[in-house]
Amino acid sequence: MQQAKTNQTPYELIMSTIATCDAFCEHLEFENKALEKRDIQAVEEGTKTKRHLGSKLESALKDVKLRRDAIKADANAVRELQNLQTAIDLYQAKARKNVVLLSAAHEATAQVLNSVRQAVIKLKTKTKTTTYGDSGKIEEKNSESNSLINKEI
């Protein structure tokens, strides 16, 4: 079994994991509210913080798992395990809501862009070009435009 990379007592480990989980929940709540208000800039600005908190929480939970025997031997840590489970449950609920809101925002953006694309295609289906023919006469041709607008999002 791997050793956890921490100098913390089992109690301190549980408490710092709860604190990290709480911080992540606060960030997810902020992001969820921003998504509900369609404030995408605020969501983008919080991406670095979200990644950091996710990594920190993952590492802390890994340490808790690796040190479960030491945690079971520490009465203070055992008392806090229920609080840790409550924090994790809250985190999971907020994370699920966040996934739904992010998916909805992505889908809405894709629909708007596809609608704009379809409108542009409808307005500009054929391009009239003027060229010189074989005999040197001016010829007008209708041709379909082959542009990036014809790409599906």
pLDDT at 35 over 70: yes
Distance, in Å, from the CA atom of 24 to the CA atom of 54, rounded to the nearest integer, reads 7
- pLDDT, residue 150, reads 55
- In this prediction, residue 116 has a pLDDT band, given cuts at 50, 70 and 90, of confident
Q: Name the residue with tokens 């956890």.
A: 4
Mean pLDDT of 75-100: 96
pLDDT at 147 over 60: no
pLDDT at 72 over 80: yes
Q: Is 149's pLDDT higher than 90?
A: no
Q: Which ranges constitute the DSSP H helices of the chain? A: 10-36, 40-45, 47-66, 68-73, 75-123
pTM: 0.71
Question: Which pLDDT score is estimated for 1?
Answer: 42
